[in-house]
Chain A
Amino acid sequence: MAEKTIEDKTREIIVEQLGVNPEQVTPNARFIEDLGADSLDTVELVMAFEEEFGVEVPDEEAEKLLTVGDVVRYVEEKQTS
Chain B
Amino acid sequence: MTKMDPNTRRIVVTGMGVCTSLGAGLDEFWQNIISGKSGISRIEAFDTTDYPCRIAGEIKHFNPVEHFKNPKDARRTDRFTQFAMAASNSAIRDAGLDFERLDRDRIGVMIGSGIGGLLTIEDQHTVLMTKGPKRISPFMIPMLIINMASGMVSMAYNLRGPNIAHVSACTTSAHAIGEAFRNIKWGDSDIMVCGGSESPITKLSLSGFGNMQALSGRNDDPARASRPFDADRDGFVMAEGAGILILEELEHAKKRGARVYCEIAGYGLSADAHHMSAPDPQGRGAARSMRLALDAAGVRPEEVDYINAHGTSTPQGDICETMAIKAVFGDHAKKLMVSSTKSMTGHLLGAAGAVEMVICAKTLENDRVPPTINLNNPDPLCDLDYVPHTAREAEINVIVTNSFGFGGHNATLVAKKFN
With A18-B72, A19-B74 given, name 11 new contacts (CB 8 A).
A16-B75, A17-B72, A17-B75, A36-B72, A40-B142, A43-B138, A44-B137, A44-B138, A44-B139, A47-B137, A51-B135
Q: Tell yes or no: B71 within 8 A of A by CB.
A: yes
- Residues of chain B with a CB closer than 8 A to A16's CB: 75
Range of interface residues on B (Cβ < 8 Å): 10 to 19
Chain A: residues with CB nearer than 8 A to chain B?
16-19, 36, 40-41, 43-44, 47, 51
A31 to B122, CA, bound (A): 30
Chain B: residues with CB nearer than 8 A to chain A?
70-72, 74-76, 134-135, 137-139, 142
Interchain nearest-CB distance for B317 vs A (Å): 42
Q: Are A40 and B139 neighbours in the complex by a CB distance under 8 Å? A: yes
A18 to B73, CA, bound (A): 9
A18 to B139, CA, bound (A): 13
- Residues of chain B with a CB closer than 8 A to A36's CB: 70, 72
Interchain nearest-CB distance for A19 vs B (Å): 4
Q: Are B135 and A47 neighbours in the complex by a CB distance under 8 Å? A: yes
A47 to B136, CA, bound (A): 9
A40 to B74, CA, bound (A): 15
Q: Are A19 and B135 neighbours in the complex by a CB distance under 8 Å? A: no
| Max count, chain A CB within 10 A of own CB: residue among B72, B75, B139, B142 | B72
| Max count, chain B CB within 10 A of own CB: residue among A16, A19, A47, A51 | A19
Q: Are A19 and B138 neighbours in the complex by a CB distance under 8 Å? A: no
- Residues of chain A with a CB closer than 8 A to B72's CB: 17-19, 36, 41
A43 to B140, CA, bound (A): 12
A44 to B243, CA, bound (A): 32
